[in-house]
Amino acid sequence: MAANEQPPSGTAVRRLMRNSDRASIATTLAATGVGEGSPYASLVLLALDLDASPLLLLSGLADHSKNLARDPRLSLLIDATTGLEDPLTGSRASLLGRAEPVNDGRLLARFTSRHPSAALYAGFGDFQVYRVGVSRAHLVAGFGRIRWIEGREILLAGDCQTLAAAEPSILDHMNSDHADAVNRIAQHAAATSPGTGWRMTGIDPEGADFRRGGHIARAEFRCLIWDAGAARSELVQLARAGGATPAGGA
């Protein structure tokens, strides 16, 4: 893709999602009395499955969880306008979909890797992972660049199972054996947040995610990858671009 060429709209939404670790959630107020049936907005932490399906970890005591128990429809606002002099020139996407509670250890592990602080309460009985089925999204990519996009254009097509199975070992190997490479890749990806102490928190067919305290970084692959061998090749390439090559490869 040429430097000045815009990605397909579905890809643009997916990139916004993958570069975000939080979202504003809107549900329908379930509480009886004043306000019942009204829109209700709050802040949630966000992670994604490998195909970019949003993942939420919510307490059953929270109002948005009570709302979802009654009406699973929701909207998630992904906002990439922070720091812009004129926020309305920046990109944001409003996702529409339905939240489904799931009991899946892999998804919980993916969420807590993205958000290490969540590990402190993830095992509490009132917390539940929700996977969001995205039906549509409204993308605003700046003035005049506005359109509705179907969910099938946003979620990544392809079989992610092989890479998903390999993800824990890839993360452990990179963080334990190639911390220098992890730091170089993340520093290169997050030019505004240099420093060491980065950890790789996830890998998917399109790239790898990193975190250092309150900072996150995203490194994109040159092409889609579907297994550990292809992941190794792309991570080695990213390490070289960042100025370091993992000893013995990734």
Q: For 77-122, write each residue's pLDDT tens digit.
A: 999 998 889 998 899 999 999 999 999 999 999 999 999 999 999 9
pLDDT of residue 250: 44
Average pLDDT, whole number, for the chain? Answer: 92
CATH number of 161-241: 3.20.180.10
How would you list the strands of the sheet with 207-212, edge to edge?
199-204, 207-212, 215-220
pLDDT digit string, tens, across residues 1-11 = 544 567 789 99
Which ranges in the chain are annotated with CATH 2.30.110.10?
9-154
Model pLDDT for residues 22-63, shown as the tens digit of each residue: 999 999 998 666 677 899 999 999 999 999 999 999 999 999
Provide the CATH topology of domain 9-154: Pnp Oxidase; Chain A (2.30.110)
Residues of the chain with CATH 3.20.180.10: 161-241
| Cα–Cα distance, 65 to 164 (Å, whole number) | 27
Residues 6+ apart with CB under 8 A from 100: 72, 130, 131, 132, 133
Q: What is the pTM of this model?
A: 0.91
Q: Tokens 């709302």 correspond to what residue?
A: 67
Token pair recorded at residue 66: 């009570």
